[in-house]
Chains A and B, each alone.
Chain A
Amino acid sequence: MTDFDLVRKNLFRKPLRTILLTVSIFMAFLIFGMLTSLNVALNRASETGAANDRLIVSNKINFTQPLPIAYVNRIAAVPGVTGVTHSSWFGAYYQDQRTSRFVGFAVDPATYVALYANDIRLTEAEKKAFIGERTGVIVGKALADQYGWKLGQTVPISSNIYVQPDGRRTWDMKVTGIFTGAKPTDSTAALYFHYDYLNETTTFGRDQIGNVAVRTASMDLNNQVAKTIDAAFANSPYETSTVDEKTFAQAFLKQAGDLNLIVTMVVAAAFAAILMIVSTTLVSAMRERTKEIGVMKTLGFSSPRVLRMVLGEALMLSTLGAVLGLAVSAFVLAGLSNSPVASTFGDLSMSPLVALSGLLLAITLGLVTGAIPAASALRMSIVDALNRR
């Protein structure tokens, strides 16, 4: 028999209590695993394709406000700018707005595929077909797989923003390319189609665009180019805000609120509750065993060794719950990653860093919850322990 055996046997002396505690810890780590992985995926998605030499020009009021299309040429003329394109959020969905919304932009095809050639991987034939076909659309592989779209197929894509003169919200688009991302983990649940097609058929917002993407000659010029652009449109009806692509993407995601903060708050609340439940239960469990601890000390077990055993119990409990919680959340996330709904986030699977953070959190939880009973076991005098009724 080893100290580990003794710790294990003590932990499971009341199986129901241990199971209930394990389930509580399991729930906390399930929440941690799911939310943290989701947050990581969202942050990763915000960085997907973000290049250091690209800037995004949007309306200073808010990036949901439009800019005149005439700005594109003026921005292109700014010194240091080597490429310009534009895009407009379409509010795209396929058939059912509630269940099949995805990322969709109306873009200038030639300049867009050129500026994002690294992130939107198409064959030369597909690029050519897209640029040459007015109703052409390029769709990400995830989206094509999700809806079973094939090259050459015409698909009805609807908008929850734009309306056609006859009241329809649906545009027929011909799939001219199916793109992949720079990395396998990049989200490809998106589509891009001709701005002109939208501009000519929409009832409002004509000659207006969502934002302008700018490539600079060097990232060292980014600040200077951004200032020049914003200065050029200062005091106009459409003032601009120019930021690097990563900053823009993060601001875009923050539409849903500060996800980092929300995740931190939810996880912290779950752990605060678990901390109190587990601590109280362990203190009470240790009280029940006061006499046994006294006997162990009487037999010659040193106080530090008893302390290690009590801490070991708390650690074993928290690690057990954590491993189960993280394993189940990894399993659920892997399943979600393959679902159409989650494809927007790209790779949802639990990263080694999240798993490692979870295990470190489990060790911290074990040490904190075990601290009070372990300290009382350390201090407990044999005489007092054996006299305890």
Chain B
Amino acid sequence: MSALIQLNNVTKNYRRGKEGIAIFDGLTMSIEKGDFVAIMGPSGSGKTTLLNLLGGTDRCDGGQIIFDGERIDGYSEGQLAAWRARSVGFIFQFYNLMPVLTAAQNVELPLMLTKLPAKKRRDNVATALKIVELSDRAKHKPKELSGGQQQRVAIARAIVSDPKLLLCDEPTGDLDRNTANDILRTLQQLNRELGKTIIMVTHDPEAARFANRTLHLDKGSFAEVTA
């Protein structure tokens, strides 16, 4: 396997008032194509910041971020937005669906950034909803769906434009155990059957067990790697 995403000597600092806080000071890591990685660690360890850097929603202060052989750390805002649209699918803890849109319309959102014709868009939406087994809920609004169903819609939204990378921020943090396991099995299926590279931040060791490997992040560096 070759690296899909690679961080070389990445630094990231935040300012809190006059105080500067170093989150990462020379972080280096690599995620292979087709991998399913869980990232665990205590609060404040930098898990979400790492996810933001990997997803191009935040910028590093130094170092290199290379995606599929291409440096993205120097991209402009517009280039990053276009890159996210074609390369990354995001799954959030609280689903973050648009309440005014139906499930199908929420799934269609990333396709608004493509030049696909309307019919092809509809077909892709239908396929994505079928993968997450929610075809019969296409016309339902988020408030008419359970938490698990909403997260499935979010997964469909994340995969509809066929990105190489899925970034999941506590995807089961708001769900009961059984529903969480269903969601995790779906992610596992996406990884195994569709070859999606998945990076999942979680506090839940049970959830981490669905990943191929787990990275433990502490104080800005990977303290431990478990298989």
Please report A residues at the B interface, Cβ cutoff 8 Å: 1-3, 6, 9-10, 12-13, 291-292, 295-304, 381-383, 386
CA–CA, A297 to B110, complex, Å? Answer: 10
User: Is A300's CB under 8 angstroms from B57's CB?
Assistant: no
**A2→B85 CA distance, assembly (Å):** 16
Interface residues on B, range: 20 to 34
Contact B96 A297 (CB under 8 A): no
Whole-angstrom CA separation of A299 from B100 in the bound complex: 17
* Contacts A9-B101, A298-B55, A383-B57; A3 near B112 (Cβ below 8 A): yes
Q: Is the CB of A298 within 8 A of B90?
A: yes
Residues 69-101 of chain B, each 1 if its beta carbon lies under 8 Å from chain A, else 0: 000000001100111111000101000101111
Minimum distance in angstroms from B144 CB to a CB of chain A: 15
- Contact between A295 and B57, CB atoms less than 8 A apart: no
Docked-complex contact B52 and A383, CB < 8 angstroms: yes
- B85: chain A residues within 8 A (beta carbon): 299-301
Is B105 close to A, CB under 8 A? yes
Are A300 and B77 in contact, CB atoms less than 8 angstroms apart?
Answer: no
A residues near B86, Cβ cutoff 8 Å: 300
Report the separation of the CA atoms of residues A288 and B109 in the bound assembly, to the nearest whole angstrom. Answer: 20
Consensus secondary structure, chain A interface: helix
Q: Is there an interface contact between A1 and B100, defined as CB atoms closer than 8 Å?
A: no
Q: Once the chains are docked, how many angstroms separate the CA of A295 from the CA of B95?
A: 10
Task: Map CB proximity to A onto B27-56 as digits: 1 under 8 Å, 0 otherwise.
Answer: 000000000000000000000000010010
| Neighbour of A13 across the interface among B52, B77, B100, CB < 8 A | B100
Cβ-neighbour of A302 out of B81, B99, B100 (below 8 A): B81
* Of A1, A13, A298, A304, the contact of B84 (CB 8 Å cutoff): A298
Question: Closest Cβ of chain B: how far from A322's Cβ, in Å?
Answer: 24
Q: Is the CB of B57 within 8 A of A382?
A: yes
A292-B96, A382-B57 known; A299-B109 Cβ under 8 A: yes
A6 to B110 CA separation, bound complex (whole angstroms): 13
Residues B99 and A13 in contact, CB atoms below 8 Å apart: yes
Residues of chain B lying within 8 A (CB to CB) of residue A299: 84-85, 90, 109-110, 113, 157
Kindly list 8 other residue pairs between chains A and B, CB separation below 8 angstroms, not including A300-B84, A300-B85, A300-B113. Answer: A9-B101, A292-B96, A292-B98, A296-B109, A298-B84, A300-B83, A304-B78, A382-B58
Q: Nearest Cβ in chain A — how far from B112, in angstroms?
A: 6
User: Taking the complex as formed, is B108 at the interface, i.e. its CB lies under 8 A from any CB of chain A?
Assistant: yes
Best-buried of B57, B82, B105 by chain A (most CB within 10 Å): B57
Chain B residues within 8 Å of A292, by CB: 96, 98
Q: How far is the CB of A90 from chain B (nearest CB, A)?
A: 66
Residue of B with least CB distance to A296: B109
Contact A301 B81 (CB under 8 A): yes
A384 to chain B, nearest CB (A): 10
Say yes or no: B101 contacts A295, CB within 8 Å: no
Chain B CB count within 10 A is highest, among A9, A12, A299, for: A299
Tell me how far the C-beta of B84 lies from the nearest C-beta in chain A, rounded to whole angstroms. 4
Docked Cα-Cα span, A299 to B82, in Å, equals 9
* Contact yes or no, B81 A300, CB < 8 A: yes
